[in-house]
Chains A and B, each alone.
Chain A
Amino acid sequence: MKKSRWAAASAILRSTLAIPSSSCSLSPPHPSIGGWLKVQPMQMGRFEMGVQSFPFLKPDKEGPVKTIPLHVNGRATRVTVDDPDMPLLYTLRDNLGLHGPRFGCGLGQCGSCTVHIDGEAVRSCITPLSAVGKKKIVTLEGLGAPDKLHALQKAFITEQAAQCGYCINGMIMEAAAFLAHNQNPSEAQIKRALAHNLCRCGTHLRIVRAVKRAAAGV
């Protein structure tokens, strides 16, 4: 059971470039990208790992190590990894110290790990680092910052659309990519757009209200 499931998961990993959220063309990253680099004193510790490399890898005895350039939240950076097929999620979280994308299933089923790649909502848990190339990655931190909230973030706060909040990264990132190409969505369209994002707390009603609010620009 275990082996076959993992085999299936890694097959997805190898073959998948990305799961597009909607059939949309490329869109420019949100103008507020770069927010995550504006380190606030309180959160200084979060970036201790730096963006350059795995400080803990020992390339001398551990085989080939690859340095991969990435474009994240408006900034070019490089990460050094031993496995270029490592899912993007771990680079974002463990190397770049980003907390927006979250591990939920690692199987492309729940949406907690969603980021934008060239404007499309993508499951970073099944997107190999090697597949990203020069494409531009935006995470929840890059979508908007506390002092410069994205319309969706604002709407989620207004609607108090969270319980534990663990799924909310995926909800906002999925909805942001969707709204970028669907100006005036109906409630049913919003629900369809979020159909592959799971929430266990049952916050769905508030999430839909928040997306509607953001879509209406109120």
Chain B
Amino acid sequence: MFSDKPSRRDFLKGTGILVVSFSFPLPSPPGTARAQSADLSATPAKTVALDEVDAYLAIDSSGRVTLYSGKVELGTGVRTALTQIVAEELDVPLTRIGVIEGDSALTPAQGKTWGSLTIQAGGVQIRQAAATARQALLQEAGKQLGAPVSDLIVEQGTVRPRSGGKPKTYGDFIGGKNFSLKLDKQAPLKDPANYRIVGQPVPRNDIPPKVTGQFTYVHDFKLPGMLHGRVLRPPAIGANLQSVDENSVKDIPGVVKVVRQGNFVGVVAESEWGAIRAVQKLKASWSTWEGLPEQSKLWEYVRATKINKDDVTSNIGNAEQALEQASKRISATYDFAIHTHGSIGPSCAVAEFKDGKLTCWSASQAPHDLRLQLAAMLSMKDSDARVIYMDGSGCYGRNGHEDAAADAALLARAVDRPVRVQWMREDEHGCDPKGPPTLMDLQAGLDASGSVVAWYSQLYVPEGGGGNVRLLAAEAAGLPFEKGMFPGNIINNSAIPYAFPHVRTVAHRLAETPFRPSWIRAPGRMQNTFCNEAFLDELAAAADADPLEFRLRYLNDPRGTEVLKRLVHLAQWQGRSPAERSAKQATGEISSGRGITYVKYELARTYVGAVADVEVNRTRGEIRVKHFAIVQDCGQIINPDGVRNQIEGNVLQTVSRTLKEELTFDRSRVTSLDWGSYPILTFPDIPDVDIDLIDRPTEKPWGVGEPSSAVVPSAIANAVFDAVGVRLRSVPFTPAKVRAALQKA
């Protein structure tokens, strides 16, 4: 029943990239199997079709399984979690599964690794592929073993009839052949009651090589004859290159070429240090450009920007009318600064042209899409470009990886040798696309009893959704690229999870935003949840209600309610009367407080409840976040330790974003170009995190990479109010803003 052509063996012989992972008895740990040049021409067609089992899975004659995943490991542990899903569904030991990720020629295009969808969407596809494969393997086993499928026992990748007899391995049935099967949506999934691998805190197999220096990140990848490139950035974002003085670098040893195309100018050198010195010394003159708004007037600028359209994200009753009739009206404006991704390792890529075909090694979260972008930029056929994923430094959205890949591809084409480009720190801080500035006006009305009767919010954010953010090199060099802004789906969570009688939430979509926008972890969901949950806290205070009880009052969602109830227990939440609060706030230079927040991610999936404990120093205006309690329901949990790791990371990273982070710029360019001018949270300031996970093994698995970040800013804002009685409505909560708020109070 399995098809013979092209055989897996032949296929393996044809492609250098796979040899390592198959010629060793055990799966090579991640990060060790990629150190060869991939010869595209020698690769026989392997299907990458999303509806084919062979796109996802291969089993060789020894029974070893290879998982081909279009979703990639960005540091979140999904490589391990996806392996667990396959091991569980196929009943194969974890150690018998190797993973190939994000190779546009070998893996199915399962979409970008974004939006907390790797497990929820990609993992579910992979699970169905494994279930389909298992069904087919058992049918074949039944035939070969002369027993009905219902009498077969499957253990550790072997099959035997219940009645006894010698076990056979999957490799005996499929080894050397293709499945040639469509994904079967009806293929039976294992009963979660019988899970032994999914739901377990399986350790990540990339951590041992990462802590011993044995791991090959894309930054470590080398090709024979590889050169090093660096790109000269313009002194102003919109500046035009007027001239380049190539003589300025002629004294630097090993410079191979100064490459100029339009406004793109880069250097290629034999050594990395040579390339760095050359780009430092290279003299170029540029036109002036001062098209950025004044930073101090950013929010006036946002308000004045042309609105291209309105997205009404919810509309219940008549909020405007109900507001007019309310006995108490409250309004506030919230804003959230422009942020940078700030990966610790700057973006990096290696590109090589061979026989007119491009191969690019990149840590892009979207290798399949990057392939199309590179092909478009270089006016090549899509099939002549290949992108191969390799782990990079943590990626929390669309950062600079794709741009570094485009830099490397342009330079490699210009010198006809493989070129590695690693961005310098100032490239990463200065040139990665930014999380756009976010502004929200909120109004609400209460009736005489303190019940919310109306909620009306207006969000000001750039237009556009997810897509392929334009490549800097393509734009600079005047080469083709997809026009438009792609900030991510940033209007998500602008609607609210609470059942008020009149609700209207509108997103005004702006025609432009100061910097090339993209998505950074929980894009929009974080900003919108901040505005909504902090404003809700204002309403609770206006209604003299306990903020936790106030939320429960308006929540018609049993899973959400359970999250909040468990939070009461985890955080030892106790209501405070207004009198208790004022008494507490009156004392001392340092005041402590706690704030609560809730989110249902995109109003459709993972639930998170959070309580933050903070201390505020009134004189200095400094906030210290001492502790976070998080309750999360993400449905079925694949790897609880992986989930905890993500929650801890989300909390710490977002405490950093909330307290410290803000892009700075002058009229021409970004000025926060290093960690001194864009500081992030450091060890002495980290909070402790307590976590309660609600596992629902029979439910769908939902994403965890983002949701618990969305609750952090508002939890802190609400805790600061509890501590000192002032509302912080502008992220980051810098000491200057805290002092100003205290002075006004």
Contact = CB atoms under 8 A, between A and B. Distances in A.
Given A102-B219, A103-B345, A202 B211 contact: no
A83 B411 CA distance: 24
B16 to A, nearest CB: 11
B423 to A, nearest CB: 10
A13 to B, nearest CB: 11
Interface string A47-70: 011000010111000110000000
A56 B224 CA distance: 11
A68 B177 CA distance: 55
Nearest to B642: A160
B26 to A, nearest CB: 10
A202 B224 CA distance: 36
A93 B217 CA distance: 12
B545 interface: no
A156 B207 contact: yes
Contacts of A43: 32, 35, 214
B289 interface: no
Interface string B266-293: 0000111110110010000000000000
A182 to B, nearest CB: 15
B212 A140 contact: yes
Nearest to A104: B344
A109 B219 contact: no
B227 to A, nearest CB: 9
B345 A205 contact: no
B208 interface: yes
B683 A191 contact: yes
A165 interface: yes
B91 interface: no
A42 B32 contact: yes
Interface size bracket, A side = 35 or more
A197 B683 contact: yes
Q: Is the interface of A mostly helix, strand, loop or mixed?
A: loop
A201 B653 contact: yes
Contacts of B425: 104-107, 109
Given A83-B277, A110-B344, A195-B684, A202 B650 contact: yes
Interface stretch (B108-116, B321-329, B535-543, B671-679): B671-679
Contacts of A110: 344, 675
A140 B213 contact: yes
A95 to B, nearest CB: 9
Contact of A99 (B206, B215, B396, B684): B215
Contact of B210 (A82, A98, A165, A199): A165
B645 A206 contact: yes
B346 A103 contact: yes
Nearest to B210: A165
Which of the listed residues B220, B273, B280 has the most CB atoms from chain A within 10 Å of its own CB?
B273
A105 to B, nearest CB: 4
A58 B269 CA distance: 12
Given A45-B35, A202-B651, A166 B207 contact: no
Contact of B682 (A100, A163, A195): A195
Nearest to A112: B344
A82 B254 contact: yes
Contact of B213 (A82, A83, A139): A139
A205 B35 contact: no
Q: Is the interface of B mostly helix, strand, loop or mixed?
A: loop
B20 interface: yes
Contacts of A201: 75, 344, 394, 649, 653
B345 A104 contact: yes
Nearest to B422: A103
B214 A146 contact: yes
A5 B222 CA distance: 29
B254 A109 contact: no
A207 B652 CA distance: 13
A200 B673 contact: no
A138 B651 CA distance: 34
B741 interface: no
Contacts of A90: 271-273
Given A1-B669, A57-B254, A99 B216 contact: yes
Contact of B214 (A94, A99, A190, A191): A99
B76 A94 contact: no
B682 A58 contact: no
Given A46-B35, A48-B222, A166 B674 contact: no
Contacts of B124: none
Given A43-B32, A99-B213, A145-B212, A199 B207 contact: no
Interface in A104-120: 104-107, 109-110, 112
B233 interface: yes
Which of the listed residues A62, A112, A167 has the most CB atoms from chain B within 10 Å of its own CB?
A62
A42 B342 CA distance: 33
B204 interface: yes
Contacts of A10: 280
Contact of B683 (A107, A160, A194): A194
A204 B393 CA distance: 16
Interface string B419-445: 000101110000000000000000000
A157 B641 CA distance: 13
A196 interface: yes
Contacts of B689: 205
B209 interface: yes
Nearest to B676: A109
Nearest to B363: A164
Nearest to B204: A160
B74 interface: yes
A202 B614 CA distance: 18
Interface string A133-169: 0000001110011100100010011001111111111
B346 A149 contact: no
Given A57-B271, A157-B207, A195 B394 contact: no
A162 B344 contact: no
Given A1-B671, A168-B210, A200 B215 contact: no
B712 to A, nearest CB: 11
A207 B215 CA distance: 19
A157 B680 contact: no
A5 B426 contact: yes
B675 A198 contact: yes
Contacts of B424: 106
A149 B681 CA distance: 30
Interface of B: 20, 24, 28, 32-33, 35-36, 74-77, 203-204, 206-217, 219-220, 222, 224, 233, 235, 251, 253-254, 270-274, 276-277, 280, 342-346, 391-396, 422, 424-426, 641, 645, 648-653, 656, 669, 671, 673-676, 680-684, 686, 688-689
5 contacts: A105-B674, A146-B212, A165-B391, A200-B653, A203-B652
